[in-house]
Amino acid sequence: MELLGIHHVSILTGMAERNYQFYTKVLGMRLIKKTVNQDDTTSYHLFYGDAEG
């Protein structure tokens, strides 16, 4: 099997704005989905992907 890239990245964070700035501005990914972490509702579960992901 040949791996052609990353489909998505899933992150748990308490600093959503800082996390968003890094993944979108620095790495060039886009935010796909934002939910609340079910184990700790004070943090977010963020999903990022590229144009194909």
Span 2-45, pLDDT tens digits: 878 778 899 999 999 999 999 999 999 999 999 999 999 999 99
Q: Is residue 3 part of a domain?
A: no
Kindly state whether residue 2 falls inside one of the protein's structural domains. no
Give domain status of residue 34, yes or no.
yes
**In the chain, how many domains are there?**
1
Residue 14 included in any domain: yes
Which H/E stretch holds residue 9?
strand 9-13
Overall pTM surpassing 0.85 (yes/no): no
Query: Is 33 a domain residue?
Result: yes
- Quote the domain boundaries for residue 38: 9-49
Domain membership flag for residue 32: yes
Residue 1 lies in a domain: no
In a domain, 19, yes or no: yes
Could you give the CA distance from residue 1 to residue 11 in angstroms, rounded to a whole number? 26
